[in-house]
Amino acid sequence: MPKMKSHRGAAKRFKTTGTGKVVHQKKGKRHFMSKHSSKRNRQLRRTGELEGADARRIKRLLPYL
């Protein structure tokens, strides 16, 4: 059976941790940063984690990650 292909758009946006959780960058970090508070900008540096059905859907798109 041939190898499955990864969904390249999803591969650029999501990563999996060693324990199998799916992480992503938070939204709202591209421009207009001066309107946000310093606390908000600090919190946006951290990665978010997908849960439930969203995580299962992304894992299906990324069979080898």
pLDDT band at 65 (very low <50, low <70, confident <90, very high): confident
**Residue 45 identity (one-letter amino acid):** R
pLDDT band at 44 (very low <50, low <70, confident <90, very high): very high
Give the range of the structural domain holding residue 16, as residue numbers without chain letter. 1-25+35-65
pLDDT, mean over the chain: 94
Query: In the predicted model, is pLDDT for residue 24 greater than 90?
Result: yes
pLDDT band at 63 (very low <50, low <70, confident <90, very high): very high
CATH number for 44: 4.10.410.60
What's the structural domain count of the chain? 1
Residue 13 resides in a domain: yes
